[in-house]
Every structure is written in structure tokens, then in C-alpha cells.
Amino acid sequence: MVDSRSSKLAVVVAQDANEGRAKLVAALARVAQGDRAALAELYRRTCAKLFGLCLRILSDRAEAEDVLQEVYLTVWNKAAQFEVARGVSPVTWLMVIARNRALDRLRARGQRFGALEEAAEIADLAPLADIALDAREVSQRLAACLDALETRAASAIRAAFFGGQTYERLAAQAGMPLGSMKSLIRRSLMRLKACLEP
Amino acid sequence: MNTPESDPPEDDLNALAGEYVLGLLAPEAVAQVEERRRRDSAFNAAVNAWQIRLLPLTEEVSPVQPRARVWTGIAAEIAPRGEKKASLWNNLKFWRALGFGAGGFGVLGLAAALVALVWLRSPSLVPIATATLISQHDGVFVATAQQAGAGVLLVVSPSQVSVPADKSAELWLVLPTGKTQALGLLASDRPVAVTLTPLQLGGGIAKLALAVSIEPPGGSPTGVATGPIISVAKFLPL
């Protein structure tokens, strides 16, 4: 009884997710043709998720807002590129851009103008066109693979992902020698890769 | 054991791609990785694969609603130019999408969009790039670059910006080298036009950025920014 109800719910949720994704894909296609209303729709549907990520990385509201704005202007100018990357969910595409921009900003902090010219170009995801993702499923798999690593490796990977932390800072925080932190992370990354792609 | 630097094995390169995506590398190493991405497509694919592999971590982040001014700035930047402007005015869907009627973004968005529209009206000037300078305190300057002969006419429009009464806001051009050049004072209540020379444009507008600093009345006495920099933004080519 409970099982059938929850599986029914799961189907409904999955349908909603597919519908939402289809709407985003359609909006993005219209953005590529210069449809401003479509960008407004895309923004309404995704801005809270993207802003949450920018805020988590930057811990500064004004800076996170600045980056968020850059992200949507990038989307406005580069939406046509997404057409090539069919199969990648629009949210994935947006989140990669948002994270890269936020980390660029984090690195540029304190350097004033120094980092401007080094700002990375927009991530070119076209080669990933054949990878289709179900966000929740993939997220659970990643969490399971991270849990299988040494605890300190998993937490260092999370800290680095959201914090743009360099090896030096991670090692200092964990009270480990720099070399040990490096080999721990490198070893863990290869284990993570193997776990995700058996 | 040290890895030989000349010929790193595949696993090492793959781990390097992962380290890069995690943001663990020092700036010099980041530059090397980015250089390698450009010439080594297999390595670039490894970097992209790590992006996708690690991205699901973002599912752990709670959504947060940004303030309305973020969309205000975006709306100002994407305001139409040239022949598209008439259709915008008639496009009720567009205004609804911006939140009019729903009370979402209101007058601020309209004001910013209007300023951009007015300054993009002239048919002889072709807009080539924009930069959005969001103040750390409040408001935003929207800079629109338009090709004018060999140079560029820059129109900088304020939206909801406040500058202390005893101070001036000064606009700076940030060259690819990181050097800055004074471009003049900005007003908080009206657009200001500035010309960029072909020499200043150098390798193209996409390599340039703008900055705004708060200076003594009349601008920096030294030729470089002396006060706090309230915003820096790169040009986004159109």
C-alpha cells in the first residue's frame, strides 16, 4: 500500500521534473533566438537555485548578485551554444557557468584587477552532448561514492568544490602536511572516478 | 616519489583535471591547465567530465531568492536595439514576463529599461558591447559601447545609484595589462557619454573592463583610483 503510493508519487515527481526540464529547454531555445520574455521565464525558474550556489561559494550577497547577473547575460549571449549540447540538462549547464563564474570571482578577490584577464572562458560543454543526466539519481550516486572515501577526503573535496580552497588552505585546516593532502585528494579523485564509472 | 614533469601519465592528467575543476590549484597552475585545455582536446574532455561528475554536489545547496535588482540589471542589459525597439514596446508578454502586473520588479526595471532604450535609439550607432557595473552599496551603472568611426562611444547610465554629496564617482578603463586610465566623472542622475580611442581599444573591447571608484570632488587628484572601488565589470560583446 505504502509502497505503491510512494512509487506513484515518484512517478508524478519524475513527470513534473521532466515537464520542468522540457519547459527550460524550450525557454532556452527561444532565448537563443533573442526572446527576452523567454530569458525572464528562465530566470524565474532557475534564479533561486543558481543564487543559492553563488551565495554558498561567495558568502557575500552583493558579489553573488553580481555573478548571478553575469551568468544570465552569458546565457543571453551564448544560449545558441546550448543547442549543440542537447542531452545536458539546462540546469546543469547553468550551474556549471554559475559555479565557474563564482569561483573566478572568489579567486579575483583581493587581487583587484589582476585576475580579470585570466577569467576563464565559458565552459564548453558541447563534447558532453551524449551524457543525459537525472539530477537526483546522479546526486545520490555521487553522495554514495563520496561516502565510500575516507571521511577527511570527502570533506576536503566538498570544501574545495564550494570554497575554491587551495591545497595549502585545506592542508592547514586539516593539520596535515601539504604533500599528504595532495596525495590523499589525488588518490580519492581517482577512486571517485572509478566508483562513478565502474 | 616525484612524477616526471615532462610526460605525466594519463591518470595524473586526469587527477589534474579533477583538481582544476575542484579549484585546488594555485593561480600559476590554473593558467597552465587552461593553456593545456586549449591545445589538448582529450584533456579538455577530461576537465568537462569532471565538471559533470562533481556538479551533482550542488544538489546539496538550498535555493535562495535573489533581490529584484538583479533582474533589473539584466533587463537593462538585454533591452533591444535598432529595429527591434518598436516590437518591444508592443510586446506585452515581455513586460508581463518582467513582472509588471505581478508587482514583482516594478518601476526600477522600467526605469532601467527606458534609460537603455533612449540611449540605444540612434540608428547610426551600432551597439557592440555592454558592461554592468553593480555598486557594492546600491544601484547599477549600465555602460553601452557603440561603434563610432574608429573609436567607441560609451554611454554610462545610472540606475538607483547614490554617490555621497561630498564625493565624485569616477569611471576607469581597465586595460588587459591591469593598468587603469581615468575616463571621467559619472553622474548619479543622468547618463554620461565618454569616447574610447582606437589606441585604448587595442586588442578589442572584449579584453577591456570598466571600474567605478569613489573619489574626492572633481575626481582622483593622482590619476589612479584613490578611493574605494565600488564596482568592476568586463565588457560583454553583443
What would the pLDDT profile of B90-139 be if each residue is shown by its tens digit? Answer: 444 444 444 443 333 444 444 444 444 444 443 345 678 888 887 777 77
Residue A83 pLDDT: 55
Least confident of A171-180, B74-83, B190-199: B74-83
pLDDT band at B81 (very low <50, low <70, confident <90, very high): low
The Cα-based distances of A44 to B74, B98, B216 in angstroms read 12, 9, 40
| Closest residue by Cα to residue A25 from A78, A74, A82, A68 | A82
Under an 8 A CB cutoff, do A34 and B84 touch?
yes
Identify which of B93, B231, B232 has the shortest CB distance to residue A113: B232
Interchain CB distance below 8 Å, A92 and B45: no
Test A103 with B70 for CB contact under 8 angstroms. no
At A58-104, the pLDDT tens digits run 888 999 999 999 999 989 988 877 654 555 677 877 888 898 889 88
Give the C-alpha separation, A64 to A51, whole Å: 7
Query: Where are the domains positioned within chain B?
Result: 10-59, 68-237
* pTM (global) more than 0.95: no
What separation in angstroms does the CA of B171 have from each of A65, B102, B227?
Answer: 21, 36, 12
pLDDT at A22 over 70: yes
pLDDT tens, B3-33? 444 446 778 889 999 999 888 888 788 889 9
Please check whether the domain covering B68-237 is classified as CATH 3.30.70.
Answer: no
Each residue of B134-188: pLDDT tens digit? 777 777 888 888 887 778 888 888 887 888 888 889 999 988 887 888 898 898 8
Q: Locate the chain B residue with the closest alpha carbon to A196.
A: B53
Task: Identify which of A41, A95, A118 has the shortest CB distance to residue B55.
Answer: A95
How high is the pLDDT of residue A145? 94
CB-based contact B52 A64, cutoff 8 Å: no
Is the pLDDT at A21 greater than 80? The verdict is no
Distance CA B79, CA B93 (A): 14
Q: Are A160 and B63 within 8 A, CB to CB? A: no
> In angstroms, rounded to a whole number, what is the distance separating the alpha carbons of residues A143 and A161?
14
**Cβ-Cβ contacts under 8 Å, B19 against chain A:** 185-186, 189
Q: Which B residues 131-160 touch A at CB under 8 Å?
A: 132, 134, 136
Share of chain A above pLDDT 90, in %: 28
CB atoms within 10 A of CB B231: 22
Whole-number pLDDT of residue A121: 33
CB A174 within 8 A of CB A156: yes
Give the three cell numbers for residue A102: 563564482
Q: Which of B55, B70, B98 sits opposite A40 (nearest CB)?
A: B98
A165/B70 touch (CB, cutoff 8 Å), yes or no: no
Residues A32/B86, Cβ–Cβ less than 8 Å = no
- Which among A8-12, A16-20, A133-137, B172-176 has the top mean pLDDT? B172-176
Identify the three-state secondary structure at position B125: coil
Can you give the pLDDT at residue B125? 58
Nearest residue, CB atoms, A37 vs list B58, B69, B94: B94
Residue A70 Cα, gap to closest chain B Cα (Å): 8
Q: Nearest residue on chain B to A157, judged by CA atoms?
A: B22
**CB of B144 closer than 8 Å to CB of B130:** yes
Contact A51 B63 (CB under 8 A): yes
Q: In angstroms, what separates the C-alpha of A1 from chain B's closest C-alpha?
A: 30
How close B163 comes to chain A (CA, Å)? 17
